[in-house]
């Protein structure tokens, strides 16, 4: 059982669940996570856009991560491999791991009605003074990446015990001890097919489709981990 699962069980009184199997460090068999929603039913985000994003960009990173990990295993066994070669593989492993994780949280955050509720909304209101202030700051952070690349991330920090919106230029940016709760993909592949350069309209559509129940679950897990 992970620390998160253990803490969550103690909070809810549920019986401990079996510990999940731990994947080998150099496993090249990671499987893509299916979409939990029907992409044809999103409001303002076309099925063509979402399927292209999921199939090409997300699954492309899954395939590359698997390939990189297999090559790392082979390179580790080669004592004559130059450090620069190994370093390049490690950098790509970090890059692709971030891409896979952030894309999965991005897609998991869609498929809802966009209405914020639950403990996470209350926590956001407390942290930012109002929910509207948080949303305005999140949108501004997203727009600061428009025309470039990156992610806007609402994270709970296990060290500082705080909620913050973070600016991430690529898949490898992230606050130390930050647990992503909600992420907005600001790479052009996430919106250009529908909106061209009109990033603000994409952000509007993204907010309308948020599944806040999923965000609230991640927040509950993060709080449980912080208490453990």
Which CATH number goes with the domain that contains 173? 3.55.40.20
Q: Is residue 29 part of a domain?
A: no
Residue 221 belongs to a domain:
yes
Report the distance separating Cα 161 and Cα 222, nearest Å: 10
* Mean pLDDT across 128-151: 97
According to the model, what pLDDT value does residue 21 have?
66
Confidence of residue 20 (pLDDT cuts 50, 70, 90): low
Mean pLDDT of the residues in the chain: 91
Domain of 147, in residue numbers:
119-227
Mean pLDDT computed over 155-169: 97
Q: How many domains does the chain contain in total?
A: 1
Query: What stretch of H or E contains 100?
Result: helix 83-108
Question: Minimal CA–CA distance to 174: which of 113, 98, 120?
Answer: 98
Does the residue 112 lie in any domain?
A: no
**Distance (Å, rounded) from C-alpha 127 to C-alpha 133?**
10
Contact 49, 194 (CB under 8 A): yes
> Which pTM value belongs to this model?
0.89
Burial of 19 (0-12, 13-18, 19+ CB in 10 A): exposed
Residue 134 lies in a domain: yes
Tens digit of pLDDT for each residue in 104-113?
Answer: 999 999 999 9
Look at residue 216 and tell me if it is in a domain.
yes
Is 92 domain-assigned? no
51 part of a folded domain: no
Q: Is residue 200 part of a domain?
A: yes
- Distance, in Å, from the CA atom of 140 to the CA atom of 145, rounded to the nearest integer, reads 9
């Amino acid at each position: 059982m992970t620390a998160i699962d253990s803490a969550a069980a103690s909070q809810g009184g549920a019986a401990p669940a079996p510990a999940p199997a731990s994947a080998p460090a150099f496993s090249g068999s990671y499987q893509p996570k299916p979409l939990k929603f029907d992409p044809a039913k999103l409001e303002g985000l076309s099925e063509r856009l979402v399927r292209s994003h999921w199939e090409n960009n997300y699954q492309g990173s899954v395939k590359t991560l698997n390939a990189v990990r297999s090559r790392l295993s082979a390179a580790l066994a080669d004592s004559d491999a130059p450090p620069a070669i190994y370093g390049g593989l490690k950098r790509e492993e970090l890059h692709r791991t971030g891409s896979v994780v952030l894309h999965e949280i991005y897609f998991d955050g869609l498929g809802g009605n966009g209405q914020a509720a639950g403990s996470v909304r209350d926590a956001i209101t407390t942290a930012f003074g109002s929910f509207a202030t948080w949303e305005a700051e999140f949108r501004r952070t997203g727009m600061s990446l428009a025309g470039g690349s990156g992610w806007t991330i609402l994270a709970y920090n296990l060290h500082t015990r705080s909620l913050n919106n973070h600016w991430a230029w690529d898949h490898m940016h992230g606050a130390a001890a930050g647990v992503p709760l909600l992420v907005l993909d600001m790479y052009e592949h996430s919106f250009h097919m529908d909106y061209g350069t009109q990033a603000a309209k994409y952000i509007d559509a993204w907010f309308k489709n948020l599944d806040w129940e999923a965000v609230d679950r991640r927040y509950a897990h993060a709080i449980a981990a912080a208490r453990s």
